[in-house]
Structure 1
Amino acid sequence: MKRPKLRKASKRLTCHKRYKIQKKIREHHRKVRREAKKRGRKKPRKDPGVPGAAPFKEALLREAELRKQRLEELKRQQKLARQKEVEKRRKLDAKRSAGAAQEQTEGKVIEASDVILEVLDARDPMGCRCPQLEQAITCSGGGKKLLLVLNKIDLVPKENLEKWLNYLKKEFPTVAFKSATLLKDRNMPETFTRKRARIDLSRHTESFGSECLVKLLQEYGRTQNKAIQVGLVGFPNVGKSSIINSIKKDRVCDVGPARGVTKSMQIVRIDKQMRILDSPSILADPTNSAATLALRSIIHVGESCSVNVAKVVDAFLSLCNKQQVMMSYSIPDFENAEEFLRLLAQKRGMLKKGGVPDIENIAKLLLCDWTGAKISYHSEPPASHILPPYLTKDKIAEMQTGFNLKKLEEGNSSTVQALKYRSSASSIVFQSAGMTNGKIVKNKVVEEESEWEDLETSEEDFMETDDDQDSTEENDVKEEGRGQMTGKAELGMGQTGQAHSENETAESGLDSSLSFSLDKTAAEDDTYDFTTDYV
């Protein structure tokens, strides 16, 4: 039996192996030094710092620390500036591409629709009309119809609404509409709370005028004997998507108080014979006035604005009654727009660091209140009715054909009687700046059709010229063939005559080769006569 080992094995090596390992280590160190010498790199020297016996040591250390902090702060600011510049450039590019896409989308909606609904805000109907859009529809041809939908009628006094309906129906068929703003999405789960607040939500969940509009469009579709497509167009925050939700009685389109929620065209099926196309907002032209651009252009609250907001709000407030604005916002008297914004920011608690009023964001929220449904204001229609230059009596009659105007009048009167309106005292009087110019891409389909027609006519002319050339060539070929046949016939007659002369010369014993060569020409030598047998 083998005795177990009580001690561990020794780690001592033989001298030969130990010397070999040491030799390898020396070779490795030598190789490392050689490579370091070739590279020329040396270890960085350690900063010895300020000696302890040096005078003003604390001041020097403090100055070095401050210099280091300043450098770090400068680097951080430069990095933030670069990031802001990149973000600003990216947003600008995205805005340009979105603007171009919206212009193209408006043209597509106009081209694909049989009936176009121009949605107007009842508080400023004339400012929501786009002359470029109306001209493009009325002059496009193809039997396209234009209807005006007067939305948000619950925010104006009843007398003012009746005046606008009487004014607008002289140009286009006009439908009074009040959309539902608090519709739940059917896909969202319903939540219950213990305490339910007793709030009347009927004003926000009920819509008025939807049945009248749907019946009007359905009857027009029956007269056309086909399924129709209806396109909704208009400026931001006039309620295009809310009208579709009110007709469907469901939240099928995204809506919100911010401007420009709808980014692309959306198709919503109403029934088997009608579909509605929801489109992005019309872009306002920069040549409009400052107040018009403030109300009709897309402004995002989170973005930085390069325009002086005080001037924009000043131009906007110049169109309103100052006393009514003070009563509506419950603020004291103010001298200019900047003071008004400062007082409003202090009241709403929109302050920056140090208690400084946030003028820019409060101005944007003020404009959102006016384009939304928070502020009640109204504008009076013009005293004298003057038709736009693109509208004539024939165009007006053409736009009204196919619609039952009597039932439309009855539906509008029932809608007006069913609603509760704001009083004239609580509504701010607003002076409208007139129609708003917009950016609309012209219809390219008509131009393409004309180009195709020109191309077809040019092709027909080209084919006719080719036929003429072919006929002339055929005539030339026929004439040449006739000339060749006559030449061959003459040549055959000459050859028969020559044969008789040869016989005569043979009988007379003369040389016929000389006379034959004299009678033949150079062209006759090259021709081949099929009537003669050659041996």
Structure 2
Amino acid sequence: MSKQIQWFPGHMAKARREISEKIKLIDIVIELVDARAPLSSKNPMFDQICNNKPRLIVMTKKDLADERVTNKWIEYFKKKNIDAICVNLKNFNEYQLVINISKEILKEKMEREAKRGLKPRAMRAMVLGIPNVGKSTFINRLAKRKATVTGNRPGVTKAQQIIRVDKDFELFDTPGVLWPRFEDINIARNIALIGSIKQDILPLDELFIYAVKYLEAVYPKRVMDRYDIEIDFNDDWVEKAYDDIAKNRKIKPVRGYTDYDRVMEVFFNDIFDGSMGKITWERPDDTL
């Protein structure tokens, strides 16, 4: 991946400005990150915008991440005195746990307001996250209705709205926001491999090579077992891998040649939907 990835649609620039303007109205920030890449999917821009607001990090897509590594990440955040929880977006009980923890974090603040004679009010949380970390699903489940448009494509939520969860808690939703460019190549790769960047702006051939090498190093035999192929990292292994995957998945040739684009589409979809198994693309040890 030789070039920098830049993706900052106009609605994201607008969202950043609105977040900065409205953060003073918020009691707590609920920041969603992807459990498969908790640091790479944690936008450093939010640290600047949210300043000293109380924050709860919610690691989503637990069901797609390596559970052993997820537990290490929870310990990592705990050591840094960061409130964090990992959830399965398909389990409604875990959504309520997020609200309960948020209320506990804000308990002292609300008690101080009561002692000052302020009128009781609903706590207001701002939900932040980069595209495709499950933010729309999170909002919809909490609101018990289809409050936002959901989908598997990054950037699908494009409007800010306030959603009442219960009489004591409101959510302020925002579109996913990415920083304008990725200075760190590993962050760019991780974000791509969890599906948070539109594929048509990526050098997918380079990402394919990186992903295969990573999987063989960290999760040996995943690729081989999925496609019933052998990978020998010699000079021409990439072309052979394309051909073998195409043969296994019965991908039709184009003008007599292997359809590399279709092979990569199948490969990355197998990663995104969990068909390749539970995968985490970074570990706390990588930060040392």
TM-score, L = length of structure 2: 0.74
User: Does 1:218 pair with 2:103?
Assistant: yes
1:376-424 C-alpha deviation (Å, 9 max, x unpaired): 11357434xxxxxxxxxxxxxxxxxxxxxxxxxxxxxxxxxxxxxxxxx
Greater RCO, 1 or 2 (C-alpha within 8 Å, sep 6+): 2
Aligned amino acid, residue 283 of structure 1: L
Q: Distance in 2 between matches of 1:173 and 1:260?
A: 26
Structure with greater helix percent: 1
Change (3 A) 1:96 1:279: closer
Residues 73 and 283, structure 2, Cα contact 8 Å, conserved in 1: yes
1:265-324 C-alpha deviation (Å, 9 max, x unpaired): 232211233211222222242323152352365215xx5x5x532112223333322533
Residues 232 and 276, structure 1, Cα contact 8 Å, conserved in 2: yes
Change (3 A) 1:320 1:219: same
Partner of 1:175: 85
Change (3 A) 1:341 1:254: farther
Counting aligned pairs with the same residue, the percent is 23
Q: Distance in 2 between matches of 1:262 and 1:355?
A: 41
Q: 1:354 aligns with which of 243, 255, 271?
A: 255
Give how far 1:115 is off.
1.0
The 3-state SS of whatever aligns with 1:276 is strand
Q: 1:330 aligns with which of 227, 235, 240?
A: 227
Find the structure with the greater CA-based Rg.
Answer: 1
The 3-state SS of whatever aligns with 2:56 is strand
Give how far 1:147 is off.
0.9
Q: Distance in 2 between matches of 1:354 and 1:154?
A: 40
Over the residues paired in the alignment, what is the CA RMSD in angstroms? 3.3
Aligned amino acid, residue 360 of structure 1: D
Partner of 2:3: none
Partner of 2:213: 318
Partner of 2:4: none
Aligned amino acid, residue 59 of structure 2: L
Q: Output aligned runs, 1:16-415, within 5 Å.
A: 96-108=9-21, 110-137=23-50, 140-141=51-52, 144-171=53-80, 172-180=82-90, 206-223=91-108, 224=110, 225=113, 226-284=121-179, 285-289=181-185, 290-292=188-190, 294-295=192-193, 297-300=196-199, 303=200, 305=201, 307-321=202-216, 323-334=220-231, 335=233, 336-351=237-252, 353-354=254-255, 356-364=257-265, 366-375=267-276, 376-378=278-280, 381-383=283-285
Q: Distance in 1 between matches of 2:258 and 2:18?
A: 40
Number of corresponding residues: 260
Residues 34 and 41, structure 2, Cα contact 8 Å, conserved in 1: yes
Change (3 A) 1:372 1:136: farther
TM-score, L = length of structure 1: 0.43
Give how far 1:355 is off.
5.3
Q: Distance in 2 between matches of 1:314 and 1:240?
A: 30
The 3-state SS of whatever aligns with 1:154 is helix
Residues 227 and 248, structure 2, Cα contact 8 Å, conserved in 1: no
The 3-state SS of whatever aligns with 1:319 is helix
Residues 41 and 191, structure 2, Cα contact 8 Å, conserved in 1: no
Q: Distance in 1 between matches of 2:19 and 2:221?
A: 37
Q: Distance in 1 between matches of 2:266 and 2:92?
A: 26
Aligned amino acid, residue 239 of structure 1: G
Residues 72 and 284, structure 2, Cα contact 8 Å, conserved in 1: no
Residues 123 and 377, structure 1, Cα contact 8 Å, conserved in 2: yes
Aligned amino acid, residue 197 of structure 2: I
Residues 60 and 89, structure 2, Cα contact 8 Å, conserved in 1: yes
Residues 127 and 171, structure 2, Cα contact 8 Å, conserved in 1: yes
Give how far 1:166 is off.
1.7
Give how far 1:97 is off.
2.7
Residues 228 and 274, structure 1, Cα contact 8 Å, conserved in 2: yes
Q: Output aligned runs, 1:372-521, within 5 Å.
A: 372-375=273-276, 376-378=278-280, 381-383=283-285
Q: Distance in 2 between matches of 1:350 and 1:278?
A: 41
Give how far 1:116 is off.
1.0
Q: After alignment, is 316-325 or 224-233 more displaced?
A: 316-325
Give how far 1:145 is off.
0.9
